[in-house]
Amino acid sequence: MWAGLAVTLTAVIVYSGYTVAQIRGLERLQAATIDRNRVDSLLLLRIQNNLNSIALALRDMLEGAEPYPLSAWHAPLARIRTDLADALEQEARYSPAGGAADQRGYLASNVRQFWDALDRVFTLAAAGDAAKARDLIRLSLEARQQALSSAVSRLLVENNEREQETAARTRAIYAGVRRNVSIFLAAALVLVALTSIYLLDYNRRMFERMADVSRRRGELAQQLISLQENIFRSVSRELHDEFGQILTAIGAMLHRAGRRETREADLREADLREIQEVVQATLDKVRLLSHALHPVVLDDAGFESAVDAYLPGFEKQTGIKVQYEKAGASRELDRGVAIHLYRVLQEALNNVARHSQSEAAAVRLQFLPKAVVLEVEDRGVGFRPGGKQGLGLVSMQERAELVHGRVEFVNREGGGALVRMTVPTA
């Protein structure tokens, strides 16, 4: 989920930055090219209009149809000259950078030469030589005016071509933005779909796991209640049958020994010896039952001493030979860790006695710098693959989780089972 969120945010940031860059490029293109090109075209049209007005004035001056001398055209042309100069100045300021610089230089040079020639025309006209003035108009001014009009027309054509190129670039940018939006939306939909599928599958697996854990906890609770009742029933039966009968027998023996006369001292000594044996057997049973309920030696002497005391008794009761190995520097374990390790050891060895059909077992205790490892291994039939876990295995897993450890159930190659419990220690 975090990876999906990170990828989504990264895609959004990258796409947003790219889109902003494209929009800014479009704004620069519009401000630097489109708007300036439009203004420049309007100024060129203004220049062309002035040149057309000059052409009309020159035609009228040549035809002489008006009853005015040539000098009468000086004032109108002066006004056109002022407006043309202003239009040329503004056009030079708004013309696109680097665009047709040679033609604009040619235009400015020809305009200066045109006005110089026109000034000579008016000088000749003022001197009374109207014929030479008209010849100068015919031979020089009209040609220069046509050249100026052609130059302005070429600039207008270039501006129009540039505007078309800019429009094409603008359309390409808009098409790229639309394409990127479509790609981004498609990628976002795919990402959202994949994330949703993953979340649904993850939630499904989590709910299944929770349901399985809940079911296992319920089964474990039922088994623990059943086990508790069996323990209570066993303890009750032991107290009622075994210890009740033993105490009754002891009472009968003491009563019989008390009725014997002094001359029967040897018989009384035999009775007392029998009573002592019965009492010792009873004490052993009491200690065995007490140890099964809770190993007192674990509280008094520690985990290793409890293991040393437990293993010989297990060998004596079951006839299974146990090989015990210790490794690492011994240290005192926390009481909670010790009791759970001890119960796992008991349960693993009980499983060996009940299910493994093995005549030998190995117990290994290893102290690591930050953990303690307990292993119980046998050479029996091993665990059933895919079989349902019984109460013993489930309780070992629960005990491992209580001390933040882990327990492993491994089938060894060649037969046999290995139970390994690893518990972190402070």
Q: What is the pLDDT of residues 114-166, one digit of tens each?
A: 888 888 888 888 888 888 888 888 888 888 888 888 888 888 888 788 778 87
| pLDDT tens sequence across 4-57 | 567 667 766 776 777 777 677 666 666 566 777 778 888 888 888 988 988 888
Q: What is the pLDDT of residue 313?
A: 83
Which DSSP helix (H) or strand (E) runs through 221?
A: helix 142-237
Q: Are strands 321-327 and 360-368 parallel, antiparallel or unpaired?
A: parallel
Topology annotation, domain 295-424: Heat Shock Protein 90 (3.30.565)
Cα separation, 329 vs 84, whole angstroms: 105
Q: Which of 199-208, 237-246, 399-408 has the lowest mean pLDDT?
A: 237-246
Q: What percent of the chain has pLDDT over 90?
A: 7
The per-residue pLDDT for 125 is 83
Unique residue bearing structure tokens 């190659």: 413
State the chain's mean pLDDT as an integer: 79
The conformation of residue 388, written as its DSSP 8-state character, comes to P
304, pLDDT greater than 70: yes
Tell me how far apart the alpha carbons of residues 123 and 127 are, in angstroms, rounded to a whole number: 6
| pLDDT greater than 70 at residue 239 | no
pLDDT in tens, 248-268: 767 776 666 666 554 455 555
DSSP secondary structure code for residue 369 in this structure: T
Average pLDDT for 71-98: 83
Name the percent of the chain lying above pLDDT 70. 75
Judged against a pLDDT cut of 80, whether residue 96 lies above it is answered with no
pLDDT tens digit string along 342-368?
Answer: 889 888 888 888 888 888 899 999 999
Of 365, 240, 233, 381, nearest to 310 by C-alpha is 365
Please, what is the Cα angle at 407 between 404 and 410, to 5 degrees? 160
